[in-house]
Structure 1
Amino acid sequence: MLEIQNLNVHYGGIHAIKGISLKVEEGKIVSLIGANGAGKSTTLRTICGLKEATNGSIKYKGIELTKLDTSEIVKLGVTMVPEGRRVFSNLTVYENLLAGAYLRKDKENIKKDIEYVFDLFPRLRERINQRAGTLSGGEQQMLAIGRALMSRPKLLLLDEPSLGLAPVIVKEVFRLIRRIHEEGVTILLVEQNAFEALKLCDYAYVLETGRIVLEGTGKQLLEDERVKKAYLGG
């Protein structure tokens, strides 16, 4: 579904992504784990067209994404939930969800999809007219995911969905990611919580200073001594 080949990305003189290659197969959850500054978020931003690739290829269903702008990539079915949630704080919950459907014209289906989001996240229904900036961190994360789902993605990119959340909310977020996946959405997950990410995913890549240094199934990496030592407190 998504295939990255020899991707390089620079920020000025900094070589942030150094020739990485990875695949996301349709219907799978793939995790990208690594320390702060490893290049995980840069990888997602480049897939979405928010950061320009220096060279290399990013293909989604055979279509080269590096030549497209972000709105064209969203229309193809690729949507990102950014790190730090980035909800529109002055807009209500309902208005944030509508903003997620801004490229769509099918008004009746938009109404159905808002109901779907409220079924996934009942707390958002309770706060439908509340300004997003007044929500808790967990509620804002739910809203950010719900807003992304309003574009009807086939491939959902999640950038640090558990960051800054209480442990009980983290478990809820991962449970909801699993449910979204079970309903047919392929997921590429960037996550510092390596244990939860590896438990959840089918396949994973470990990124260190812009390079992929390890890959394997979630189970394989959970049992890998190098991963245990570096990321799992073992």
Structure 2
Amino acid sequence: MLRVKDLNIRYGGIHAVKGISFDVPQGEIITMVGANGAGKSSTLRAICGLVKPDRGSVITFMDRDLTSLDTAEIVRQGITMVPEGRRVFPDLTVRENLILGAYFRKDDKEVEKDIEWVYELFPRLRERKEQLAGTLSGGEQQMLAVGRALMSRPKLLMMDEPSLGLAPLLVKEIFEIIKDIHRQGVTILLIEQNARMALQIAHYGYVLETGSIVLEGTGEELAGSEMVKKAYLGE
């Protein structure tokens, strides 16, 4: 579904991502784990056109080259990202944020059905649908960010640190929602510092360190790796 080959990203003199290659097969949950500064977020930003990679980098989705497309066109192709830090529109209501997620869609009746679907996934958003997003708790804003991304009906949902800053009970809830979204047919690329939770739900994973992939394998294989246990699982 998504294929990234020899991806290089530079910010001035900083070589942030160093020739990484990976695949995201349709219907799977793929995770990337690693510390801050490993290049995880830069990779997602390059996939959705927010950062231009070096020449020679190849990013294809459903066999179409993405490197020449702008972000709006990439969204139309079926890729949506839940950004780190949630980035909801604070002065708009919950419902208005969800409607903005469907900005490119013209099927108003289906949009309303999808809003109801999001409310079923996140009942708290239904309770707060007329509340300004900036007044929601951190966990509720994360739910809204995920719901807004789903409103574009993505084929591939990319999530950048969805558990960051959340209380443990909410972290567990967010990961249950990720599994529920996947069961409904959405392919997921998950970026996480919470390696334990990410590897529990991932079909396959990659470990990034300073811009390079240093280890890859199934979620179970990585969770059992001595290197991963010491570096990311606190064992």
Alignment TM class, shorter chain as reference: over 0.9
Q: CA deviation at 1:54?
A: 1.0
CA distance in 1, matches of 2:108, 2:207: 41
SS at match of 1:179: helix
Q: Deviations over 1:43-94 (max 9, x none)?
A: 0000000111113100101111111000100001000000000000000000
Alignment of 1:45-124 (within 5 A): 45-55=45-55, 56-124=57-125
Secondary structure at 1:157 match in 2? strand
What amino acid is aligned across from residue 74 of structure 1 in structure 2? V
Which residue matches 1:200? Answer: 201
In structure 1, give the amino acid aligned to 2:225: D
Q: Which residue of 1 aligns with 2:146?
A: 145
**Separation in structure 1 between the aligned mates of residue 7 and residue 109 of structure 2, nearest angstrom:** 40
Q: Distance in 1 between matches of 2:207 and 2:190?
A: 12
In structure 1, distance between residues paired with 2:154 and 2:221? 29
| Cα RMSD (Å) | 0.4
Uncovered stretches (5+) of structure 1, i.e. residues with no partner: none
Deviations 1:196-228 (A, max 9, x none): 000010000000000000000000000000110
**Separation in structure 2 between the aligned mates of residue 72 and residue 128 of structure 1, nearest angstrom:** 29
Structure 1 equivalent of residue 210 of structure 2: 209
Distance in 1 (CA, whole Å) between partners of 2:228 and 2:119 is 37
SS in 2 for 1:79: strand
| Partner deviation per Cα, 1:105-131 (whole Å, 9 max, x = no partner) | 111100000000001000000000000
Secondary structure, counterpart of 2:35 in structure 1: coil
Displacement after TM superposition at 1:2 (Å) = 0.4
Instruction: Report whether the alignment pairs 1:43 with 2:43.
Output: yes
Give the Cα–Cα distance (whole angstroms) in 2 for the partners of residues 152 and 81 of structure 1.
13
Q: Which amino acid aligns with 1:79?
A: T
Q: Secondary structure at the match of 2:111?
A: helix
Q: Secondary structure of the residue that 1:46 maps to in structure 2?
A: helix
Tell me which amino acid in the other structure corresponds to 1:35: A
Equivalent position SS for 1:216 = strand
Tell me the TM-score normalised to structure 2 length: 0.99
Amino acid at match of 1:158: M
4+ runs deviating over 6 angstroms = none
Which residue is 1:8 aligned to? Answer: 8
**Residue type of the alignment partner of 2:52:** E
Q: Which residue of 1 aligns with 2:173?
A: 172
Partner of 1:26: 26
Provide the C-alpha distance between the structure 2 equivalents of 1:49 and 1:34, rounded to a whole number of angstroms: 22
Residue 31 of structure 1 aligns to a residue whose secondary structure is strand
SS of the aligned residue for 1:164 comes to coil
Match of 2:136 in 1: 135
2:233 paired residue number: 232
- Counterpart amino acid of 2:135? T
SS at structure 2 position matched to 1:205:
strand
Percent identical among aligned pairs is 65
Letter in 1 for 2:7: L
Q: Report the Cα distance in structure 2 between the residues aligned to 1:207 and 1:231, rounded to whole angstroms.
A: 11
- Return the alpha-carbon distance in structure 2 between the equivalents of residues 178 and 225 of structure 1: 26
